[in-house]
Amino acid sequence: AQSVTQPDIHITVSEGASLELRCNYSYGATPYLFWYVQSPGQGLQLLLKYFSGDTLVQGIKGFEAEFKRSQSSFNLRKPSVHWSDAAEYFCALLNQAGTALIFGKGTTLSVSS
Amino acid sequence: DTAVSQTPKYLVTQMGNDKSIKCEQNLGHDTMYWYKQDSKKFLKIMFSYNNKELIINETVPNRFSPKSPDKAHLNLHINSLELGDSAVYFCASRRTLAGQETQYFGPGTRLLVL
């Protein structure tokens, strides 16, 4: 079965500290993976995506993610968090038919000063 | 030059009413979607249209009826609204082409049923 798991419901990070948000997937073939961010009261903005090739992908706002097939993971990282990064982060997997996204339950990021 | 737009942004209504949410994209995409985000922020696909034809219809009550008058529009009509329909509804779109799997989302419509 295809699924996405985000093990951390809520994470708090100090401003300026590094961040890693975890994402694990279950999928039989090479996955198409995405990270989206949802700021309070806003829509979903694409941060980055992995389709194939280089397993370390760069995104917007200084985010990067690393695809690890052996661990079925696609963790999101940022070296130095800003207060404006406080938001809900969703990892998503394109379903096998290529017709819809399967989302994880999201991780809420809080940034403390 | 909004890419994917939805109207209204907020919708407050009474149980039993019928309401519609509109979605328009100006990206030239040929596939459009409706997703529902529940109170726990979980996002799930409801419908997908490709070139005005329905290609995904998840387990959604038949009170929900999508309509695509053309490739740039996908509207969602909901009959006999129930309390459990309160959620955020997101429209999304993409181009149906290999390598173009990224979906672009609208700002969402926050529906509250009283």
Q: Which residues of chain A lie closer than 8 angstroms to B101, CB-CB? A: 32, 49, 51, 94, 98
Q: Is residue B57 part of a domain?
A: yes
| Cα angle B63-B65-B98, degrees, rounded to a multiple of 5 | 135
Instruction: Tell me the C-alpha distance between A47 and A87, whole Å.
Output: 12
pLDDT tens, position by position, A58-108: 999 999 999 999 999 999 999 999 999 999 999 999 988 888 899 999 999
Separation of CA B52 from chain center: 14
Q: Considering Cα of B26, then B46, then A50, then A19, what sign does the dihedral take?
A: positive
* Chain A residue at shortest CA distance from B109: A43
Could you tell me the residue range of the domain that residue B77 belongs to? 4-96+106-113
What are the CA-CA distances from residue B102 to residues A39, A84, A90, B15, B48 (Å)?
19, 24, 14, 36, 14
Question: B51: which 2 tokens?
Answer: 């070139």
Count of pairs with CB atoms under 8 A, one residue in A, one in B: 47
Q: Do A100 and B56 touch (CB under 8 A)?
A: yes
In 3D space, the residue among B20, B18, B3 whose CA is nearest the CA of residue B69 turns out to be B20
Specify whether the CB–CB gap between B27 and B21 falls below 8 A.
no
- Mean pLDDT across the stretch B61-84? 94
Instruction: Tell me the C-alpha distance between A18 and A14, whole Å.
Output: 8
Nearest to A106 among B41, B101, B104 (CB): B41
Q: Do B105 and A45 touch (CB under 8 A)?
A: yes
Instruction: Tell me the C-alpha distance between A20 and A32, whole Å.
Output: 20
Question: B114: which 2 tokens?
Answer: 């009283």
Q: Answer whether B33 touches A (CB < 8 Å).
A: yes
CA dihedral B26, B30, B31, B32 (to 10 degrees): 30
> How many Å lie between the alpha carbon of B89 and the closest alpha carbon of chain A?
10
Q: What is the domain partition of chain A in residue ranges?
A: 3-112
**Total tally of structural domains belonging to chain B:** 1
| CATH number given to A3-112 | 2.60.40.10
Q: Is residue B68 part of a domain?
A: yes
pLDDT tens, position by position, B8-53: 999 999 999 999 999 999 999 989 999 999 999 999 999 998 888 8
DSSP H helices in A1-113: none
Residue A35 has pLDDT above 90, yes or no: yes
